[in-house]
Structures are given as structure tokens and as C-alpha cells.
């Protein structure tokens, strides 16, 4: 097994009705087991990028290798979709059945998993997203965060190696957002490779790697500390730094000796306490 689970080589993709590339000469890799954020303004090509990764669309030029398989290779289409599952923004568009358990079973039924294996897979998937108690409930009565967790369970039951999230928390309230993000982080800690598209900088700050898309191109990749080190540069791409990073930057500009790399409240309080100890 290669350590690089997703590899894009000089990939271009243009929608038929458009005059320019939605994804424009993008090369990137994602390591196995990594949690990767993809940021970018509305319309920057993030969603197109993840659709290329699981073969929903095929590149006009360049190569996409997902778990070693070329997405252009016809015989791998179903294998790739099974190994790279996708969760979308709107929880209401992703649930189809009238009972949670059946919803989780839906994907399995469509991939020919033996029915004797299904209960075990469904139970494990619901347990992983902490929704075991809701197995017999009606999906439409769940909260947004719970619905997204059921959608995640539906993907998990297919036992993928990669999960792709396209703004999966955008329509949730803060409680739902936290629920879903924590669930995904836990899956990642257990080995799942995650690609996480978001507009929330605090979420990106908690990923291992951050990629920034702008006008279809990949303009910056690095650790959150690297990517969030220059606020002005991010603002040129219509992004920003997390609030604590902005505060730290203002304080540094005023001569306070805070180090670079502060992104979270924990970082800030730790560094402030360290400074205070030497006052």
C-alpha cells in the first residue's frame, strides 16, 4: 500500500457551459490516514476537486489516482466510489429511507454485500457515529447534526478508506457542527483518510494539512501554522485566519512577544500564561 492515497497530477477540468477551467493544473497528494482541509472562496473549485477524487467526474487532462487506481480506468469506477465515500452539505438531500437503519443499509444493498454481513456492518457504522440509539428512528425527526452522522454511517458501512466532505457542517448550528466535526476527527484518529472542505477556519486549523484553492488553482499547501501565518495573503483569496490568530497578530504588531503559530484558544491561553509567568 502506497503512503500516498490520493495523487493528482496536473489535473484540469472544465464544465461544458464554462469558459475557464474549474480545476486548473492542480497537482497534490494526500497521505494515508491524514486529515486534510481544503479552503477557498465560493466558486474556487473545491467541490470539483473532491468530485474528481472519487471519480464522479473525470479529468480533461492529467491523472487522478485514488488508492492507486486511475479514475479514468473504467474497471475501477465502482471500486473507487466504494473506497472514497462522499458526504455533502445538505443533510436533507442525503437520506432516503424512513428508518435510520435502512438508510445506512441503502448503500450496502446497492453494492451487493451479502445480506448476512449487513447487520454487523450497519451496527458498527452506527456505533462509530454514536447513533446506535437512533437506529429505529425516522431520519426526518433528527437534528441536522444527527442527520449528517447518519449520512456518514451510510458511507462508513461501505468500509471506505477515504472520506470526502463537501462543506458537511455549513448548514448546521454550532452544536451540530461540533458533533459532526468531532465524529470525523475520531474516525480520522482510527485511521480514516479525510478530505474536509470548509469555510470555517477554526476547523481547518485542527487538520494536519491545509490546501487553498483559488480560481481553480491550488495556490498554497502547508500545515495550519504555515497557511495561517499571513493574514493579508489569505484575505486576497477571500479567506481569513482563525480569530485567535488575528488577535495574536495584532498583539505582536503592538510589541507583545507572542510567538507565531497561535491558532486556537488553547494556543493563546498557553502562550499568554507563559508570557505572564515572566512578567
Partner 1 sequence: MQLTFDHVTHTYQPGSPFQATAIRDISLTIGSGEFTALIGHTGSGKSTLAQHMNALLSPTEGRVLLDGRDINEKGVSKRDVRQRIGLVFQYAETQLFEETVAKDVAFGPKNLGLSPEETDTRVREALERVGLSYADIAERSPFELSGGQMRRVAIAGVIAMRPEMLVLDEPAAGLDPLGRQEIMALVQGFHRAGTTVVMISHSMDDVAETARRIIVMDQGKLTMDGTPEAIFADAERLVELDLDVPQTCRMSLELRRTWPDFPMCVRADEAYEALLTRLKGGKAHA
The reply on whether position 143 binds partner 1 by CB under 8 A is yes
The reply on whether position 1 binds partner 1 by CB under 8 A is no
The reply on whether position 171 binds partner 1 by CB under 8 A is yes
The reply on whether position 250 binds partner 1 by CB under 8 A is yes
Shortest Cβ distance from residue 207 to partner 1 (Å)? Answer: 16
C-alpha cell at 269: 491561553
Structural contact between residues 196 and 207, judged by C-beta atoms closer than 8 angstroms: yes
Structural contact between residues 88 and 38, judged by C-beta atoms closer than 8 angstroms: no
Give whichever of 4 and 240 is closer to partner 1, judged by the CB atom. 240
Report the residue count for the chain: 279
Burial group, residue 118, by CB count within 10 angstroms (0-12, 13-18, 19+)? middle
Phi and psi torsions of 152, nearest 5°: -65, -40
The reply on whether position 268 binds partner 1 by CB under 8 A is yes
Q: Which of 30, 64, 244, 263 binds partner 1 (CB under 8 A)?
A: 244
Give the ranges where 129-230 is alpha helix by DSSP (H): 144-156, 174-189, 201-205, 224-227
Contacts with 198 (C-beta within 8 Å, 6 or more apart), sequence order: 37, 38, 39, 165, 167, 169, 170, 204
The reply on whether position 174 binds partner 1 by CB under 8 A is yes
Shortest Cβ distance from residue 43 to partner 1 (Å)? Answer: 6
Extended strands (E) in the chain:
4-13, 23-31, 35-39, 61-66, 69-70, 84-87, 162-166, 193-197, 209-214, 217-222
Give the C-alpha separation, 237 to 215, whole Å.
9
Q: Which of residues 187-216 bind partner 1 (CB under 8 A)?
A: 199, 201-202
Shortest Cβ distance from residue 251 to partner 1 (Å)? Answer: 6
The reply on whether position 45 binds partner 1 by CB under 8 A is no
Residues contacting partner 1: total by CB under 8 A = 43
The reply on whether position 139 binds partner 1 by CB under 8 A is no
Shortest Cβ distance from residue 238 to partner 1 (Å)? Answer: 4
Shortest Cβ distance from residue 111 to partner 1 (Å)? Answer: 32
Give the C-alpha separation, 52 to 58, whole Å.
6
Shortest Cβ distance from residue 170 to partner 1 (Å)? Answer: 5
Which residues of this chain interact with partner 1, rule CB under 8 A? Answer: 40-43, 89, 143-144, 167, 170-176, 199, 201-202, 235, 238-240, 242-244, 246-247, 250-251, 253-257, 265-266, 268-269, 272-273, 275-276, 279
Amino acid at each position: 500500500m502506497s503512503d500516498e492515497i490520493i495523487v493528482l497530477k496536473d489535473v484540469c477540468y472544465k464544465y461544458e457551459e464554462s469558459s475557464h477551467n474549474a480545476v486548473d493544473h492542480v497537482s497534490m497528494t494526500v497521505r494515508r490516514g491524514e486529515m486534510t482541509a481544503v479552503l477557498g472562496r465560493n466558486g474556487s473549485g473545491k467541490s470539483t476537486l473532491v468530485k474528481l477524487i472519487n471519480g464522479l467526474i473525470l479529468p480533461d487532462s492529467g491523472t487522478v489516482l485514488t488508492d492507486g487506481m486511475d479514475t479514468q480506468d473504467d474497471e475501477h469506477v465502482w471500486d473507487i466510489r466504494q473506497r472514497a465515500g462522499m458526504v455533502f452539505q445538505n443533510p436533507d438531500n442525503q437520506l432516503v429511507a424512513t428508518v435510520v437503519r435502512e438508510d445506512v443499509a441503502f448503500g450496502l444493498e446497492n453494492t451487493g454485500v451479502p445480506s448476512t454481513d449487513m447487520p454487523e456492518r450497519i451496527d458498527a457504522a452506527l456505533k462509530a457515529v454514536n447513533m446506535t440509539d437512533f437506529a429505529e428512528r425516522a431520519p426526518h425527526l433528527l437534528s441536522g447534526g444527527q442527520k449528517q452522522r447518519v449520512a456518514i454511517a451510510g458511507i462508513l458501512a461501505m468500509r471506505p478508506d477515504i472520506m470526502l466532505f463537501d462543506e458537511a457542517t455549513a448548514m448546521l448550528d454550532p452544536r451540530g457542527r461540533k458533533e459532526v466535526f468531532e465524529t470525523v476527527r475520531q474516525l480520522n484518529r482510527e485511521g480514516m483518510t479525510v478530505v474536509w472542505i470548509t469555510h470555517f477556519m477554526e476547523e481547518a486549523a485542527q487538520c494536519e494539512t491545509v490546501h487553498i484553492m483559488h480560481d481553480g488553482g491550488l495556490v498554497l499547501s502547508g500545515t495550519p501554522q504555515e497557511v495561517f501565518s499571513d493574514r493579508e495573503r489569505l484575505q486576497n483569496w477571500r479567506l481569513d485566519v482563525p480569530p485567535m490568530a488575528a488577535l495574536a497578530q495584532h498583539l505582536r504588531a503592538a510589541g507583545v512577544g507572542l510567538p507565531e503559530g497561535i491558532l486556537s484558544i488553547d494556543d493563546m491561553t498557553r502562550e499568554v500564561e507563559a508570557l505572564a509567568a515572566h512578567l
